[in-house]
Amino acid sequence: MVDVTVVPCDESLCKEVAALEVMCFGADAWPPEVFHTLCRMYSESAGFRGQIWVALDEQRRTVAGYVALEVTSLGEAELTNLAVAPACRRRGIGRRLVSCVIAACQQAGVELLWLRVRRSNQRAVRFYEACGFVKRGEFRDYYDDPREDALILALEVPEERGEDDPC
Ligand SMILES: CC(C)(COP(=O)(O)OP(=O)(O)OC[C@H]1O[C@@H](n2cnc3c(N)ncnc32)[C@H](O)[C@@H]1OP(=O)(O)O)[C@@H](O)C(=O)NCCC(=O)NCCS
């Protein structure tokens, strides 16, 4: 059951998002200033270059998860980051955030959505597979600390069906 509201990330949410990032990724976490920079860049860009969305827990109004999308080239985009707070997992929040990303891709004419994930992060791999991503390749020794391969997953963005906006 999904009891979250999904909103675009703005400066006022960046601190909480950065705290969740550290909770979920530890030493691999994006530094807090990255969220500020991306929010500013995406809001100021002329065309659609990307977006961070935040899932707010409706009862406590706290950040339950977030996802980041970056348009990389004509017709393609990368899902660059995604996390759901440990206490909020397996409630469909991750799937809801991916639905927002897919809806934005449809609106922006993006046909192929990519992402990279650590080979050992099988929980995330299972999640992405459940969302329709398939393995397209891998980068050997892509990550440091610990050194590890990245799996490259991709989703062919489905045609827009005119359903309710998930965001
Ligand atoms: C991966 C992650 C975002 C999933 O978020 P979530 O909100 O728990 O996912 P959902 O509840 O929407 O799950 C949707 C489906 O994905 C699959 N799934 C999710 N978590 C899973 C797990 N731990 N093991 C196996 N399958 C899983 C299931 O099929 C699930 O459907 P079900 O609950 O009906 O069985 C979350 O576990 C997370 O934040 N992990 C740490 C950060 C991370 O690794 N991010 C990815 C970096 S590339």
pLDDT in tens, 51-68: 999 999 988 789 999 999
Domain ranges of the chain: 4-116
C-alpha–C-alpha distance, residues 14 and 127, integer Å: 25
The answer, yes or no, to whether residue 35 has pLDDT greater than 60, is yes
The answer, yes or no, to whether residue 48 has pLDDT greater than 60, is yes
| Residues 2-10, mean pLDDT to the nearest whole number | 90
Mean residue pLDDT across the chain: 94
| Phi, psi dihedral angles at 37 (to 5 degrees) | -60, -45
Q: pLDDT over 70 for what percent of the chain?
A: 99
Burial track 16-50 (b if 16+ CB lie within 10 A, e otherwise): bbbebbeebeeeebbeeebbbebbeebeeeeebbb
SS3 of 89-118: CCCCHHHHHHHHHHHHHHHHCCCEEEEEEE
The answer, yes or no, to whether residue 165 has pLDDT greater than 90, is no
Q: Which residues contact 17 (CB under 8 A, 6 or more apart)?
A: 9, 35, 52, 54, 63, 66
pLDDT in the model for residue 36: 97
- Is residue 90 in contact with ligand 1, taking CB distance under 6 Å? yes
- Is residue 118 in contact with ligand 1, taking CB distance under 6 Å? no
pLDDT in the model for residue 159: 87
The answer, yes or no, to whether residue 1 has pLDDT greater than 60, is no
User: Which atom of ligand 1 lies closest to the CA of 97?
Assistant: 12
* Mutational pocket test of ligand 1: of 89, 96, 113, the residue with most ligand atoms within 8 Å of the beta carbon: 89
In this prediction, residue 120 has a pLDDT band, given cuts at 50, 70 and 90, of very high
| 87-104 residue pLDDT tens | 999 999 999 999 999 999
Question: 4-116: what fold?
Answer: Aminopeptidase (3.40.630)
- Is residue 89 in contact with ligand 1, taking CB distance under 6 Å? yes
pTM metric for this prediction = 0.96
